[in-house]
Structure 1
Amino acid sequence: MSKSSRIPLSSGRERPTNIAVLLREAFVALNDVVVVALAERGHAVVRPAHSAVFQYLDDTGTTVSVLAERAQMTKQAMAELVVHLERHGYVVRVPDPADRRAKLVLATEQGADVVAVAQEVAPAIEHRVEQLLGADRFAALREDLGTILRAADSSA
């Protein structure tokens, strides 16, 4: 998808971008690399939106409510993502031993493979970014992003 089709128009021109938009669009571009790798490895039903499930899913299982909170989306939207992944064999829902009313979402072997592929592709993505920026700027970017995250965490 080209940049112009992703950025909304305002008065016939692309809206001005701010740092948050640039960070989000960079994430989307890098996430698309992972989605292509997943498709090449037989996981074509996993779409970019499903990263919200896999990114926030604990190995021991996570409720839909917690997944939604972590991904900053509604429970209904997260539940739809989980249903899709469940239907295709990537996750299962099991009773939560700590709360009989709740269910935990767990990755299946197929879901664990999605996480493994993403983790396998990540170093190549980082290497590509480092090649684009140079080693010093890449190291500074990592440090700066960490600083932003720590500041955001401390103000929450």
Structure 2
Amino acid sequence: MSVWLYAELAKRGFDDVRPAYSAVLRNMPLGGARVVDLAARAGMTKQSMGYLVDQMQAAGLLEIAPDPHDKRANTVKLTARGEEVVNASIELSRQGEAYLSTLVGEGKIKQLRNILQEIYQHLEESGEGRK
């Protein structure tokens, strides 16, 4: 599904969006975040997250501005183009899920979603999801 998703994004003009960017896009809160907070949410080093943020800023997906609460830090936010990528990804994910439902049935997809959510919650609560 991942290959399909990125091929579809490319057809929509987002041919510079790489799968690695999902670490940022999945963990970006609506109001933006500091790189260190994004890294913690994604379970990766600050340096690795900073590298992705720099690439995404160069691609016009992110903007960096001074943090209004901490003058020593910067806040990373989605640009309008970055928001378009997120919205397109959500739409395409729904299309992909609908397709999978035609293969195995909607009930099994709901069951799978519930199982994955339960696993995610367990990993988050135990701290294992951040290792």
TM-score, normalised with respect to structure 2? 0.89
Q: Which residue of 1 aligns with 2:113?
A: 142
Answer yes or no: is the 8 Å Cα contact 1:37–1:117 preserved in 2. no
The reply on whether 1:124 has 2:98 as its aligned counterpart is no
1:83 aligns with 2:54: yes
Using the alignment, how far apart are the partners of 1:116 and 1:125 within structure 2?
14
Partner Cα distance (2:67, 2:103) in 1: 45
- RMSD value, Cα: 1.3
How many residue pairs end up in the alignment?
127
1:50 aligns with 2:21: yes
Q: In the alignment, what sits opposite 1:35?
A: 6
- Residues in 1 aligned to 2:55 and 2:95: alpha-carbon distance in whole angstroms: 28
Identical columns (%): 35
- Corresponding residue number in structure 2 for 1:102: 73
| Deviating 4+ runs (over 4 angstroms) | none
1:116 CA displacement: 0.9
Q: Which has the larger radius of gyration?
A: 1
- Asked which structure has the greater RCO (Cα within 8 Å, sep 6+), the reply is 2
Q: Helix, strand or coil: the match of 1:100?
A: coil
Counterparts of 1:95 and 1:152 in 2: how far apart (Å)? 33
| 5+ long unaligned stretches in structure 2 | none
